[in-house]
């Protein structure tokens, strides 16, 4: 059984690496599309800021580790978590190969739900669906922590970008009407020059936000696997050189995650980020709508703000959904006809399919292990 525990840690870090190059494309698409940074420069910036963001808090990790699967109904075994990770990883690779900006977050959640269902022989009670609370964002379960944010976060990104770009346009028009030397600041050349510099800050903010939310999900998975294995006595006979796998005495319920888990996930995500992901950059940054530096600044700022707020509340949201919604909002503020809605439709279908597809793959993997005699 220890082999399964080690396999979970390894596959979780592989997933984190893939998450890095898969979702990094989402976080840097705008700064590359506006030609403020080259792909190599943008990836370097994102890798550094991902690393910082990944070490910033553990609220999202706590949600992933204890807020979605009912441990009273289904045993959270290393095999279950391994199948969940594998399902999410396979779906991520499929969408990456197709150039579709799907959500690694929702792939992981779908994998967990699918593996839990299969492990519980189809019992839907194995999933925590809804535990409402006041205020709403403190509720637990798939509905409050996944479905509601999946709808509201890209909408907030869209509205934020739409409003912010409208305000900036109003300011630029106001400056142009002042006359004199100040009016030249409203010329396209000056506007592009200013927001090219401003977008360096918004791109860094976006990278930080991505790390603060996405890296924590894998931290939560590893912590969940180790705590479950420890309770089952699977770590009692660890060799000396593997003692670091034994979780600390502090309860995971209090958000305590060992430093080696945080550092491993942060470094691996940053490494994956450094590998880049040009296929998805082309879809988000070039195919959806033509972007200028002011549009990129607005989209990144809006999306990063929504993600950072969600991270502070322990809500696992999708970088993909938020930046896509923000780019749509910026495009609509310019001209609704400038948005290529056919590309948007493909992206939305990828969003809809991610949870059931990753869950289905995880289900098949659990049944495969069961048939092979490795799963009871």
| Residue 246 within any structural domain of the chain | yes
In this structure, is residue 361 part of a structural domain?
yes
Query: Which residues, 6 or more positions from 223, have their beta carbon under 8 angstroms from its beta carbon?
Result: 61, 65, 247, 252, 257, 258, 261
- Residue 248 confidence (pLDDT) above 70: no
Does residue 7 fall inside a structural domain?
Answer: yes
Q: How many domains does the structure of the chain reveal?
A: 1
Higher pLDDT, 161 or 189: 161
Mean pLDDT of 50-76: 80
Higher-confidence position of 316 and 133? 316
Within-domain flag for 105: yes
**Residue 314 per-residue DSSP state:** T
Least confident of 4-18, 172-186, 236-250, 301-315: 236-250
pTM check: above 0.85: no
Q: Tell whether 199 is covered by a domain.
A: yes
**Would you call 250 helix, strand, or coil by DSSP?**
coil
Check pLDDT > 70 for residue 286. no
Domain that holds residue 55: 2-371
178 found inside a domain = yes
> Does 376 map to a domain?
no
41-50: b (≥16 Cβ within 10 Å) or e: ebbbbbbbbb
What is the rounded distance in angstroms from the CA atom of residue 171 to the CA atom of residue 174? 5
In a domain, 65, yes or no: yes
């Amino acid at each position: 059984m220890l082999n399964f525990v080690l396999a979970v840690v390894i596959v979780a870090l592989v997933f984190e690496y893939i998450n890095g190059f898969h979702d990094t494309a989402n976080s840097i698409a705008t700064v590359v599309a506006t030609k403020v940074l080259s792909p190599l420069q943008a990836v370097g910036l994102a890798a550094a800021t991902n690393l910082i963001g990944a070490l910033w808090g553990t609220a999202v990790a706590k949600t992933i580790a204890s807020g979605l699967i009912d441990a009273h109904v289904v045993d959270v075994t290393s095999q279950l978590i391994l199948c969940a990770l594998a399902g999410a990883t396979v779906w991520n690779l499929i969408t990456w190969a197709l150039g579709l900006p799907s959500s690694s977050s929702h792939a992981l959640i779908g994998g967990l739900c699918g593996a839990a269902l299969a492990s519980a022989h189809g019992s839907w009670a194995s999933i925590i669906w809804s535990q409402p609370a006041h205020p709403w964002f403190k509720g637990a379960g798939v509905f409050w922590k996944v479905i509601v944010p999946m709808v509201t976060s890209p909408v907030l990104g869209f509205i934020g970008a739409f409003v912010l770009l409208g305000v900036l346009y109003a300011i630029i028009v106001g400056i142009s009407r002042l006359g004199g030397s100040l009016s030249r600041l409203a010329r396209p050349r000056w506007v592009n020059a200013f927001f090219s510099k401003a977008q360096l800050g918004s791109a860094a903010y976006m990278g930080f936000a991505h790390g603060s939310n996405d890296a924590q999900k894998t931290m939560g998975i590893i912590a969940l696997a180790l705590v479950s294995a420890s309770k089952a006595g699977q770590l009692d006979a660890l060799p000396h050189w593997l003692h670091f796998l034994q979780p600390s005495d502090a309860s995971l319920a209090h958000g305590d995650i060992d430093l080696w888990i945080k550092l491993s996930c942060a470094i691996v995500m940053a490494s994956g980020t450094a590998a880049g992901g040009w296929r998805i950059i082309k879809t988000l940054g070039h195919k959806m709508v033509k972007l200028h530096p002011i549009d990129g600044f607005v989209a990144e700022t809006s999306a990063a703000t929504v993600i950072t707020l969600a991270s502070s509340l322990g809500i696992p949201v999708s970088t993909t959904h938020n930046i896509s919604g923000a780019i749509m909002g910026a495009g609509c503020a310019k001209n609704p006809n400038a948005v290529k809605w056919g590309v948007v439709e493909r992206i939305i279908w990828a969003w809809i399919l991610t949870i059931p597809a990753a869950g289905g793959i995880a289900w098949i993997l659990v049944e495969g292990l069961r048939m092979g005699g490795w799963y009871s």
